[in-house]
Amino acid sequence: MLDTLRTLFLTFRHAFYRRATVQYPEQQPYLPPRYRGRIILSRDPDGAERCVACNLCAVACPVDCISLQKVEADGRWYPQYFRINFSRCIFCGFCEEACPTYAIQLTPDFEMSEYSRPNLVYEKEDLLISGTGKYPDYSFYHVSGIPIPGKDRGASERERPPVDIHSLLP
Amino acid sequence: MMRLSLPVLTPLAVLGLATMLTWVERRLLGLWQDRYGPNRVGPGGVFQAVADGVKLLFKQDWVPPFADRGVFVLAPAIGMMTVLLSFAVIPFTAMGGIAGGMNVGLLFILAMMGLGVYAVVLAGWASNSKYALLGGMRAAAQMISYEVFMGVSLLGVVMAAGSFSLRDIVAAQGRVWFVIPQCLGFCVFMLAGIAETHRLPFDLPEGENELGAGFHTEYSGLKFGMFFIAEYAGIILVSALVTTLYLGGGLGPVLPAAVWFTLKTCGMVMFFILLRAALPRPRYDQLMALGWKILLPLSLLNVMATGTIMMLRATTP
């Protein structure tokens, strides 16, 4: 009996508490930078696409929502098309973890509702952004040992020149 | 003019208030649960009830093919009718309600509440489905047993006032409200009133987690709406009754009687909603045990005590 009255009183006291609701469209909730929302493809600091079409994201994806096709140009790999089906995506972030070049990233944006499902299939031009995303200085081709036009083998950052196997001199 | 308009206006006002109460309840529940509740339609969400009504109006009014059609349609009408008829004898002001100072007003209300059982039982029976029938049976057992001590708990008030007329009962509270000398009866009547309107925490006839929606599982559209509105009108009715019988009706300083009556009734309605916000639903056997093992002896004790005191008062000069 007393418990019941106490419950009533405690519940009544909640009338003077602050409300937990965030009035969403007018009042935006704070989303941390590492929030897992809409997926984007970033570019390196030079403005070139970071994605090297290695397919690791597509393999890592548990719901198979990523599909892409590799093409080669000037010794670099590019995705010919890169397609994410957001009606399947579960925003797990595995693709971001799998990506060796920081190309695919999740962003703090979830406002992507559509009235028809096909509109949720994002193509490469929808996904590519002009910036570098969360990793401003990273450029895959400048740290990896792969030679590209304008950068020979051994010319990458923190990379020693290749060993000349025809010489015995140290 | 007053005599003519009151019978027309009162049912309309009750229906309107009951509809608004759905919104008030949701806002208050929100307040007590640290959230907002419906606040989008109109200023503060006042038109939420209208939006819900329009939605119900345009829903398919489906009578299941296995249902007993005539009774199925009749049941919500009975529920609505008994509640609205009860309002006839409530004395909103000093002049009395629609039926004026009906000398057996309290009996009339008890009779209407007794008839109200038919609404849920017939709804459960006519739906011809398991959950609805179970809900209907539960409602029947609950409402019939709680009616017993509701009647008995009111006896104390009737004895003290010496009349079944609600107007006389209000008049008899001029010196002290009956909530103080009759506090035991007041508590029993409150609990019985909640059970009678099958409101939370005693809403076992429609306990969602075990019975779907209980007796109105098969109802849709406006028929469901009628059950809904009847339930909310029932809350207003029981609140108005508590106000009349125990809280002195329209009696109060400075303000006119109608304002006092409205204020007290609103307070009671809010208390009903607070009960819903705070308390969990008891098990069915606990509900029945509470009724027969605790409330019935308490109400009998109340009658006995009242009688004894009255007798002592009468014999000692």
The pair of structure tokens assigned to B103 is 């000398």
Residue A113: count other Cβ atoms within 10 Å of its Cβ. Answer: 7
Neighbours of A57 (CB within 10 A): 25
Cα–Cα distance measured from residue A95 to residue A104, given in angstroms and rounded to the nearest whole number = 7
Mean pLDDT of B177-202: 85
Nearest residue on chain A to B34, alpha-carbon basis: A19
Confidence label for A71 from pLDDT (cuts 50, 70 and 90): very high
A61 known ligand binder:
yes
Comparing CB atoms, the residue among A8, A15, A21 nearest residue B35 is: A21
pLDDT per position as a tens digit, B212-262: 777 888 888 888 888 888 888 889 889 988 888 888 877 778 788 788 888
Q: Do A14 and B274 touch (CB under 8 A)?
A: no
Enter the tokens of residue B49.
Answer: 């009830």
CA atoms within 13 A on the CB side of A127: 27
Question: What integer pLDDT is reported at residue B93 of this predicted model?
Answer: 61
- Cβ of A10 under 8 Å from any chain B Cβ? yes
Fill in the amino acid letter for B270.
M
Q: Which of B26, B27, B29, B31 to mutate to test the interface with A (most CBs of A within 10 A)?
A: B31
- Tokens coding B93: 């002001």
What was the pLDDT predicted at B2? 57
Quote the pLDDT of residue A153.
84
Interface touch B279/A4, C-beta < 8 Å = yes
Contact B32 A12 (CB under 8 A): yes
**What pLDDT digit, counting tens, does each position of B6-52 carry?**
677 778 888 888 888 989 999 999 999 999 888 888 888 889 888 98
- For the segment A116-144, the average pLDDT, to the nearest whole number, is 92
The reported pLDDT for the residue numbered B125 is: 87
Q: Which CATH number fits domain A48-142: 3.30.70.3270, 3.30.930.10, 3.40.50.300, 3.40.50.1220?
A: 3.30.70.3270
Q: Would the annotation count A89 as a binding residue?
A: yes
The percent of residues in chain B predicted with pLDDT above 90, rounded, is 7
Residues of A in contact with B29 (CB under 8 A): none
Single-letter amino acid code for the residue at A17: Y
Confidence of residue B98 (pLDDT cuts 50, 70, 90): low
What is the arithmetic mean of pLDDT over B105-133? 86
Q: What is the pLDDT of residue B95?
A: 58
**Cβ-based burial of B226 (10 A; exposed 0-12, middle 13-18, buried ≥19):** buried
Report the candidate in A92, A95, A142, A86 with the shortest Cα–Cα distance to residue A117. Answer: A86
- Residue B286 in contact with partner chain A when CB distance is under 8 A: no
ipTM more than 0.85?
no
Q: Extract the tokens encoding A98.
A: 């799998």
Task: Report the alpha-carbon distance of residue B301 to residue B296 in Å, rounded.
Answer: 9
pTM of the model: 0.80
- Indicate the helix (H) or strand (E) that contains A135: none
Would you call B28 helix, strand, or coil by DSSP?
helix
